[in-house]
Structure 1
């Protein structure tokens, strides 16, 4: 039937419409990457589920995105439905048994799975700029922000840390410009507005701690099966740039953290990238180059990447050339672009003399596919028209109650369900601002207490002009009555006071005369 070091995919079809030889993927070439393509409703999700089940049974952990919720059924035991039993008989699957698989649900928003978080520092300026669609000048400022954070020991963990740092950079734009390069407040403001949009799309749920640790995606059960990590992506698809950037970040983390292992008997992890065209839509060349580099080099770290999309033209040629295992479901050729896609897909397979590959792609039924996998010495097999085997787990989504039960029993629930808010850039910059405000407040209080810097002369009298007794004139029989004055204070000085004042007047007069003589002398000489 098939060997233990393979994943059974289905049975190839003879020209007389009978099925003969099994089609299987060799585990040792599972890290040579793959491609699953086809129009909507042709069976891509079922093929993905069959591959995920096969890898899990072989002890290989899997990470996959669940776009419509259909893939969640892999967590529950399937049922012996008539059409599935018939399919099992058609592909000569002797022992068709239903079972469930060890699933861990994840969700960037923390609603349908355990929260997945990454710190701003881990994301880095390049991916953040891609996520917010920044211009070259704004991307330069983002790089400056990360450099300042490194130089000043500021931890960038969540969005409020980055927002606080950008506000600080805007206030110090002139000072920063002399050392790191020109920083304009207009560009800083544009980045802050982009961050606000990202926050409204749910980016604040993604950035923070505890950050996802790669080892938690690579778990095994006691019986040796690999964990199937399912990312709930139905809501995430409403923010396609966030979805694509997250998966690119995850690939980069795998590439950077995992050690080199060379060729193994089976992969250490298999990564399914559904709706893969979102990764490349409007992506700058530097990011496409990054994806190509990761796909080309991550194989030696034991990781296989499988792109799932509708059209093979969605994948750049440089990436497409790295994908050794291919499953092509039906394509419709109604438009010139679709006809070109059919031709491209047919030309990428090793030809089979028994049928016309391009014609077969448009005639495939639901659940059928053209399959070509790597055989001995990593040579692509001759393309075969294959009926895909039925999955062992449930087809379709699970109920919310079933999801909650699985999440409550998850081995990573305690590690990720609680948010952590450490002392980071936001708190540090807030304390700096408070410390800088204290001296300013003290100066203001001193200035207010001292009359704002003004002093009044002391005339030796405590009375104001209003205290003076008014003169009064009365007229009686034509005579004037003398004015009555208030008694005057004594102006007499003591001998000591008189001596001191005399010396001060003498010194002041001598100094004044010397200054005047010097000034007049300089004027005369200048004539």
Structure 2
């Protein structure tokens, strides 16, 4: 809980352990065996950051984090700790918190979508478990797409681009090197598996804007963004890669802010071991660099896992705030993990840290946080402060009500399938006589609106034709995305460009064309830029 301008984490009979807000972006670790209280600690910290006005992102692996959105209720254990440590006098009160629910599959929260171009070939290779040679082919596909201004938005775009590169490899191999058809076919097969895991819904538009994670409510409380990960946990590659994409984009897009009184944003990585499983040393080094530097952008990172041994040493060394719940020590591997956990703390002369780790009860933890000057505090054994929100999951009816009230629902709920590599490469619209059925969904809606308006529109009188001055012939220009889309819509609607010298009132058809062309230009500009400036991981070799 947030009390006396500090984050109160835990108490014992003799002391309290609190984290100073200005040191909260020095990152942290919450570790412990299953069932020892990590979820309660996570909720307590998330509530504290929200009370400070700091937005939070976290993943809900079991569904019980959703209780943050519901008014808390008293239990015997909570009452005991509240009374024992005088928490009511410090401001403890049962309350609900502002929560925005998200879901990569769009079932228990707002849909989370990312374009293929934003994800980039390196992170996609991690999802698909590609070999070095296969990743090389994927890199070539993205480079060709960048040069040709072909937007890779979703899975069908990527498959179309792979087929295009293979079919035209004689054109590209001189510049990029050998393009192995076997590697390309392996990538295509892997994309089918990704589709089966829900990739069709994840990759697309409207793409997630991370600025929508960094908001406060009307009362100044930070929004707690909860990603439902119950189903997602069955697809660990997608889960871990999405979190890495978030991390890289936060680092890439946020400005330097230096030391602040409190973080701008706090990001919790649950099941953190999934991020580092089978990770190459080069990739781990890049993450270590980002973890080390991103605090200067006001972002605090907190890793949650069963043991500190799950985190690479170089990254573990960056985590200054440590909360360690009980660890079992039944096997040699578990005994080694206990030793690693104990050695990560500044010793307390009153007890043996390694012994206490195995004896902690549920809701108890060893805690050490950074003190003034960034010096680690002496480890303390404490009872974790209870959360003020509901312990447990909310029901589906309440979740549905909260989703319907979300201001972001109109922005993200419906998918948009615009003009991109798939349509442009296959020339679907130009080659199919039934062109209207092939127009992307968003553009068909515009067209239908325009048709209704055209049917009800009075004829527009044209002004007298002015004489046309002779013009020098011009070289034909290469059509851009807006020109292509404008021509398509003009064909579908039967519209024509007005003759020069004629001043006509814009018809609904022309308005539709301009609206669709504007959308295409905005998408093109954004995606091409992201293709060039793909981000930290996308540029890594």
Name the TM tier (shorter chain): 0.7 to 0.9
Describe how 1:226-245 pairs up with structure 2 within 5 A: 226-245=222-241
Residue of structure 2 in register with 1:225 after alignment: 221
Deviates more, 1:118-127 or 1:87-96: 87-96
Residue of structure 1 in register with 2:171 after alignment: 175
- In the TM superposition, what is the alpha-carbon distance from 1:132 to its structure 2 partner? 0.4
Of the three residues 242, 259, 262, the one matched with 2:258 is 262
Structure 2 distance, partners of 1:409, 1:74, is 16
Tell whether the 8 Å contact from 1:173 to 1:184 is kept in structure 2 after alignment: no
Of the three residues 33, 36, 41, the one matched with 1:42 is 36
SS in 1 for 2:258: coil
Query: For the structure 1 residues 2 and 49, does the alpha-carbon distance in structure 2 shift closer, same or farther, using more than 3 Å as the test?
Result: closer
Residue of structure 2 in register with 1:7 after alignment: 7
Deviates more, 1:85-94 or 1:224-233: 85-94
Residue of structure 1 in register with 2:62 after alignment: 68
Of the three residues 130, 149, 153, the one matched with 1:153 is 149
Of the three residues 353, 359, 363, the one matched with 2:359 is 363
Structure 2 distance, partners of 1:175, 1:48, is 54
Tell whether the 8 Å contact from 1:22 to 1:91 is kept in structure 2 after alignment: no
Residue of structure 1 in register with 2:332 after alignment: 336
Specify every segment of 5 or more residues in structure 1 that has no aligned partner in the other structure, as ranges. Answer: 13-18, 438-527
Deviates more, 1:1-10 or 1:208-217: 1-10
1:126 aligns with 2:122: yes
Tell whether the 8 Å contact from 1:38 to 1:330 is kept in structure 2 after alignment: yes
Residue of structure 2 in register with 1:377 after alignment: 373
Map Cα deviations across residues 139-176 of structure 1 (whole Å, 9 max, x no partner).
01111001000111101111110010001112112222
Structure 2 distance, partners of 1:269, 1:113, is 21
Residue of structure 2 in register with 1:21 after alignment: 15
Map Cα deviations across residues 287-331 of structure 1 (whole Å, 9 max, x no partner).
212211111111000000000000111000000000000000000
1:184 aligns with 2:193: no
Of the three residues 271, 276, 279, the one matched with 1:275 is 271
- In the TM superposition, what is the alpha-carbon distance from 1:5 to its structure 2 partner? 2.5
Structure 2 distance, partners of 1:121, 1:5, is 42
Structure 1 distance, partners of 2:191, 2:296, is 36
Describe how 1:49-60 pairs up with structure 2 within 5 A: 49-60=43-54
1:421 aligns with 2:417: yes
Q: CA RMSD in A?
A: 1.6
Residue of structure 1 in register with 2:348 after alignment: 352
- In the TM superposition, what is the alpha-carbon distance from 1:427 to its structure 2 partner? 0.7
Map Cα deviations across residues 390-438 of structure 1 (whole Å, 9 max, x no partner).
110000100000100111111211110011111100010011896699x
1:290 aligns with 2:269: no
Residue of structure 1 in register with 2:131 after alignment: 135
Residue of structure 2 in register with 1:451 after alignment: none
Tell whether the 8 Å contact from 1:91 to 1:387 is kept in structure 2 after alignment: no
1:82 aligns with 2:87: no
Tell whether the 8 Å contact from 2:346 to 2:378 is kept in structure 1 after alignment: yes
- In the TM superposition, what is the alpha-carbon distance from 1:20 to its structure 2 partner? 2.3
SS in 2 for 1:261: coil
- In the TM superposition, what is the alpha-carbon distance from 1:222 to its structure 2 partner? 1.2
Map Cα deviations across residues 213-271 of structure 1 (whole Å, 9 max, x no partner).
11100111111100000000000000001100000001111111110000100000000
Tell whether the 8 Å contact from 1:69 to 1:232 is kept in structure 2 after alignment: yes
Tell whether the 8 Å contact from 1:10 to 1:91 is kept in structure 2 after alignment: no
Of the three residues 314, 320, 335, the one matched with 1:318 is 314
Tell whether the 8 Å contact from 1:91 to 1:389 is kept in structure 2 after alignment: no
Map Cα deviations across residues 110-139 of structure 1 (whole Å, 9 max, x no partner).
000000111111101110111101111110
SS in 2 for 1:370: strand
Structure 2 distance, partners of 1:409, 1:161, is 34
Residue of structure 2 in register with 1:204 after alignment: 200
Tell whether the 8 Å contact from 1:165 to 1:425 is kept in structure 2 after alignment: yes
Specify every segment of 5 or more residues in structure 2 that has no aligned partner in the other structure, as ranges. Answer: 434-541
- In the TM superposition, what is the alpha-carbon distance from 1:3 to its structure 2 partner? 5.0
Structure 2 distance, partners of 1:90, 1:318, is 39
- In the TM superposition, what is the alpha-carbon distance from 1:94 to its structure 2 partner? 2.6
Residue of structure 2 in register with 1:502 after alignment: none
Map Cα deviations across residues 76-108 of structure 1 (whole Å, 9 max, x no partner).
001122221112122331343100000000000
Structure 2 distance, partners of 1:182, 1:2, is 59
Query: For the structure 1 residues 2 and 77, does the alpha-carbon distance in structure 2 shift closer, same or farther, using more than 3 Å as the test?
Result: closer
Q: TM-score, normalised by structure 1?
A: 0.80
Residue of structure 2 in register with 1:468 after alignment: none
Structure 2 distance, partners of 1:372, 1:28, is 16
